[in-house]
Amino acid sequence: MPFFTTLDDLWSKSEEIWEGAFSLVACLIIFIMGLTMLRIDRSKLKWKAKLAGAFNNKVDVNALTAKDKREAKSSKWTLFLLPLVTVLREGLEAVVFVGGVSLGQSARAIPLAAIVGVFTGLVIGYLIYASGSRLNLSIFLVVSTNILFLLGAGLFSKAVADFEIHVYNAGVGADVGETGDGPGSFDPTTGLVWHLPYGNPEDNTAKGGWSIFNAILGWTNNANVGTILSYCFYWIAAAIALVYMKWKEGRTTFFGYKSLAWHRRDARRAAAPVAGPELVKEKSKELDTPSEEDRQFASHV
């Protein structure tokens, strides 16, 4: 509330800069979050191997050094610090998202939207938890990441649009927003691609949910070269990052170039015996036991 009451004059003079900065930070967080989510299934193997190694290794208390004892005492704080940092991170993301969306809105419009968002998140979280044993983790991660990248691309395009609007308003005056949706409400000199007389997300009186499409997918009725290219570049960056991750893990080659992980996987495949029916049956019984590959993966993380 103090932000919306005492600093009103500060951000009203540069409202688009604030919105663009928040959108830019949010899209970067979403980009990193999406790439991290796709590695959760690999992290499952990593912790599976680490926990198996921790339980299988017997520790002689008398052989522990003073350093080992200090680390053992300090490790009890891990279970406290890990949830604490996670909650703080999620809280920071919530502040960024709520602040970015609510700039330009009245302070009374924030609490209800925040409460509805928290309630919706709790319902979705419970549904995911309740169906976790029946839901395919890989499919869930892929679908969730696609949704996150849609949000991120829309926010990145919106950030570019906000910065361009700020430059335009600085040149013609901030009262240009009173012109509505017609001529004068947009800059025709920045490579305008389309302008629609309807679907303005900034018009709070318009029906059709255009503001929701703007917040989620980055919809705008005024699109230019900058906003369209920024949307495309975000997806190109996501595709490049995903291809690089797949190449680094050794699951593909890039124009004949092979990573170190690919050579390790190829060496293991060459040394492995031909899988017959008995070997397949034996391996199926060992699914719950970490393999040597899992332990090697955990040792490199």
Residues 272 and 255: their CA atoms lie apart, in Å, by 27
Residues 268 and 297: their CA atoms lie apart, in Å, by 13
User: Residue 2: pLDDT above 90?
Assistant: no
Q: Give percent of the chain with pLDDT exceeding 70.
A: 59
Q: Is 176 exposed, middle or buried (0-12, 13-18, 19+ CB in 10 A)?
A: middle
Report which of 43, 40, 52, 38 is spatially closest to residue 287, judged by C-alpha positions. Answer: 52
Q: Is residue 257 part of a domain?
A: no
Averaged pLDDT score across all residues of the chain = 73
Q: Is residue 147 part of a domain?
A: yes
User: Residue 286: pLDDT above 50?
Assistant: no
Judge contact between 153 and 34, C-beta under 8 A: no
User: Residue 256: pLDDT above 90?
Assistant: no
Q: Is residue 69 part of a domain?
A: no
Top mean-pLDDT range of 28-32, 213-217, 271-275: 28-32
Which tens digit of pLDDT belongs to each residue from 131-158? 766 667 778 788 888 888 998 898 898 8
Q: Is residue 11 part of a domain?
A: yes
Q: Which pLDDT score, from 0 to 100, does residue 235 have?
A: 93
Residues in the chain: 301
Q: How far does CA 249 lie from the centroid of its chain?
A: 20
Number of domains in the chain: 1
- 21: amino acid identity, one letter: A
Tokens representing residue 290 in the block:
């970490």
Q: Any residues with CB less than 8 A from the CB of 216 and at least 6 apart, and which?
A: 150, 151, 154
Judge contact between 147 and 212, C-beta under 8 A: no
What domain range is 107 assigned to?
A: 2-44+82-248
Q: Is residue 166 part of a domain?
A: yes
Judge contact between 104 and 15, C-beta under 8 A: yes
Report which of 121, 157, 144, 161 is spatially closest to residue 233, judged by C-alpha positions. Answer: 157
DSSP state of 251: S
Name the residue with higher pLDDT: 194 or 35: 35
Residues 145 and 232: their CA atoms lie apart, in Å, by 17
Range name among 65-69, 83-87, 156-160, 256-260 with the lowest pLDDT average = 65-69
Name the residue with higher pLDDT: 286 or 230: 230
Q: Is residue 284 part of a domain?
A: no
Which residues is 217 bridged to in the sheet?
none
Judge contact between 156 and 221, C-beta under 8 A: no
Q: Is residue 66 part of a domain?
A: no
Going by pLDDT thresholds of 50, 70 and 90, the confidence category of residue 240 is very high
Q: Is residue 243 part of a domain?
A: yes
Report which of 92, 231, 54, 63 is spatially closest to residue 149, judged by C-alpha positions. Answer: 231
At residue 187, the 3 state secondary structure works out as coil
At residue 109, the 3 state secondary structure works out as helix
Q: What is the DSSP string of 232-273?
A: HHHHHHHHHHHHHHHHHTTS--BTTB--HHHHHHHHHHHHSP
Which tens digit of pLDDT belongs to each residue from 106-120? 667 677 777 887 888
* Token pair 């949704």: residue: 147
Give the other-Cβ count within 10 Å of 19's Cβ.
24
* Residue 38 main-chain phi, psi, to 5 deg: -70, -15
Which tens digit of pLDDT belongs to each residue from 181-230? 555 566 666 777 877 777 777 766 666 677 777 777 778 888 888 888 99
